[in-house]
Structure 1
Amino acid sequence: MAKRRSLVPCCMCTPRVASPATADAMDVVKVKVTDRYVEIKNGIFGLTLSNPDGIVTGVRYNGVDNLMEILNKEDNRGYWDVVWNPPGQRTGIFDVIKGTEFRIIYHDDNQAEVSFTRSWDPSLEGKAVPLIIDKRFIVLRGSSGFYTYGIYEHKEGWPDFGLGETRVAFKLRKDKFHYMAMADNRQRIMPMPDDRLPPRGQPLAYPEAVLLVDPINPELKGEVDDKYQYSCEDQYNNVHGWISSDPPIGFWQITPSDEFRTGGPLKQNLTSHVGPTMLAMFLSAHYAGDDLSPKFTNGEYWKKVHGPVFLYLNSSWDGSDPSLLWEDAKVQTVIEKESWPYSFALSEDFQKTEQRGCVSGRLLVRDRYIDAEDLYATSAYVGLALPGEAGSWQRECKGYQFWCRADADGSFYIRNIVTGNYNLYAWVPGFIGDYKFSATLTISSGDDIYLGDLVYEPPRDGPTMWEIGIPDRSAAEFYVPDPNPNYVNRLFINHPDRFRQYGLWERYAELYPDRDLVYTIGESDYRTDWFYAQVTRRTDENTYQPTTWQIRFDLDNVPPNSTYKFRVALASSAIAELQIRFNDQDRGAPHFSSGLIGRDNTIARHGIHGLYWLFTVDVSGAWLVQGMNTVYLKQPRSQSPFQGLMYDYLRLEGPCGC
Structure 2
Amino acid sequence: MGFAFRVARNYLSLVLAYRMCREKAVRGTTRNNDDDMVPSSPVQLQLQDSHVVVDNGIVRLTFSRPEGMVTGIQYKEIDNLLEDSNTETDRGYWNLVYTWPPEHPNDIFDKVEGTTFNVIMEDEDQIELSFTKTWDPSLNDTGLPLNIDKRFIVLRGSPGFYSYAIFERLEGWPDINMYEGRIVFKLKENMFQFMAISDERQRIMPMYKDRQTGQVLDYKEAVLLTNPENPFLKGEVDDKYQYSSDNKDSRVHGWICSDPSIGFWMITASNEFRTAGPVKQDLTSHTGPYTIFYFFSTHYAGKSLGIKFRGGEPWKKVFGPVFIYLNSVQPDEDPLTLWTDAKEQMFIETESWPYDFPLSEDYHFAGQRGSVTGRLLVRDRYFNKEIMAANSAYVGLAPPGDAGSWQRENMGYQFWTQADVEGYFSIRGVRAGNYSLYAWVPGFIGDYKYNIYVSVTPGSRIRLGNLVYNPPRSGPTLWEIGIPDRTAAEFYVPDPNPTLMNKLYIDRTDKFRQYGLWDRYSEVYPDEDLSYTVGVSNYQTDWFFAHVNRNTGNKTYIPSTWQILFDLENIDESDNYTLQLALASANEAELQVRINDGEAADPHFTTGVIGNDNAIARHGIHGLYWLFSVDVPGSILHNGNNTIYLKQSRGKIPWKGLMYDYIRLEGPSESN
The TM-score bracket by the shorter chain reads: over 0.9
Q: 2:603 and 2:370 mapped to 1: Cα distance?
A: 50
Q: 1:278 and 1:42 mapped to 2: Cα distance?
A: 23
Does residue 307 of structure 1 match 2:320? yes
Give 1:71's match in structure 2, choosing from 70, 85, 95: 85
Deviation at 1:126, TM superposition (A): 6.9
Q: 2:586 and 2:421 mapped to 1: Cα distance?
A: 32
Q: 2:331 and 2:627 mapped to 1: Cα distance?
A: 52
2:301, 2:611 within 8 Å by CA — same for their partners in 1?
A: yes
Q: Tell me the alpha carbon deviations over residues 435-455 of structure 1, each in whole angstroms, 9 at most, x when there is no partner.
A: 000011111100100000000
Q: 1:26 and 1:124 mapped to 2: Cα distance?
A: 48
Q: 1:72 and 1:629 mapped to 2: Cα distance?
A: 64
Q: Tell me the alpha carbon deviations over residues 354-380 of structure 1, each in whole angstroms, 9 at most, x when there is no partner.
A: 000100000000001111211000000
Matched-pair identity in %: 59
* Aligned partner letter, 1:451: L
1:103 alignment counterpart: 118
1:112 alignment counterpart: 127
Q: 1:93 and 1:548 mapped to 2: Cα distance?
A: 40
Gaps of 5+ in 1: 1-17
Q: 1:222 and 1:21 mapped to 2: Cα distance?
A: 40
Secondary structure, in 3 states, of the residue corresponding to 1:527?
helix
Deviation at 1:124, TM superposition (A): 6.5
Runs of 4+ in 1 over 4 A off after TM superposition: 123-126
Deviation at 1:206, TM superposition (A): 0.3
Q: Tell me the alpha carbon deviations over residues 289-346 of structure 1, each in whole angstroms, 9 at most, x when there is no partner.
A: 0121111011101000000000000011136733210000001000000000100011
TM (normalized to structure 1)?
A: 0.96
1:13 alignment counterpart: none
Does residue 38 of structure 1 match 2:52? yes
Does residue 94 of structure 1 match 2:115? no
* Aligned partner letter, 1:115: S
1:188 alignment counterpart: 203
* Aligned partner letter, 1:561: S
1:20, 1:44 within 8 Å by CA — same for their partners in 2?
A: no
Secondary structure, in 3 states, of the residue corresponding to 1:508?
helix
Q: 2:71 and 2:389 mapped to 1: Cα distance?
A: 52
1:49 alignment counterpart: 63
Q: Tell me the alpha carbon deviations over residues 458-499 of structure 1, each in whole angstroms, 9 at most, x when there is no partner.
A: 000100000000000000000000000000100001222110
Secondary structure, in 3 states, of the residue corresponding to 2:407?
helix
Q: 2:229 and 2:139 mapped to 1: Cα distance?
A: 45
Does residue 152 of structure 1 match 2:167? yes
Matches within 5 A, 1:238-249: 238-249=251-262
Q: Tell me the alpha carbon deviations over residues 588-646 of structure 1, each in whole angstroms, 9 at most, x when there is no partner.
A: 11000000000000000000000000001100011110000000000010020111010
1:266 alignment counterpart: 279
Q: 1:127 and 1:568 mapped to 2: Cα distance?
A: 46
Change (3 A) 1:399 1:221: same
What is the aligned-residue RMSD (CA, Å)? 1.1
1:429 alignment counterpart: 442
Does residue 221 of structure 1 match 2:234? yes
Does residue 537 of structure 1 match 2:545? no
2:135, 2:141 within 8 Å by CA — same for their partners in 1?
A: no
1:288, 1:599 within 8 Å by CA — same for their partners in 2?
A: yes
Deviation at 1:550, TM superposition (A): 0.1
Q: Tell me the alpha carbon deviations over residues 477-528 of structure 1, each in whole angstroms, 9 at most, x when there is no partner.
A: 0000000000010000122211000000000000111110000000000000
Q: 2:651 and 2:136 mapped to 1: Cα distance?
A: 46
1:168 alignment counterpart: 183
Secondary structure, in 3 states, of the residue corresponding to 1:274?
coil
Matches within 5 A, 1:324-343: 324-343=337-356
Does residue 82 of structure 1 match 2:96? yes
Matches within 5 A, 1:327-406: 327-406=340-419
Secondary structure, in 3 states, of the residue corresponding to 1:63?
coil
* Aligned partner letter, 2:122: H
Deviation at 1:557, TM superposition (A): 1.9
Secondary structure, in 3 states, of the residue corresponding to 2:197?
strand
Change (3 A) 1:354 1:534: same
Change (3 A) 1:330 1:124: farther
* Aligned partner letter, 2:321: P
Change (3 A) 1:633 1:338: same
Does residue 255 of structure 1 match 2:268? yes
1:582 alignment counterpart: 595
Q: 1:162 and 1:29 mapped to 2: Cα distance?
A: 40
Q: 1:560 and 1:58 mapped to 2: Cα distance?
A: 74
Does residue 507 of structure 1 match 2:540? no
Q: 2:332 and 2:399 mapped to 1: Cα distance?
A: 47
Q: 2:635 and 2:406 mapped to 1: Cα distance?
A: 38
Matches within 5 A, 1:595-634: 595-634=608-647
Change (3 A) 1:166 1:355: same
Q: 1:496 and 1:430 mapped to 2: Cα distance?
A: 20
* Aligned partner letter, 2:79: D
Q: 1:126 and 1:113 mapped to 2: Cα distance?
A: 29
1:9 alignment counterpart: none
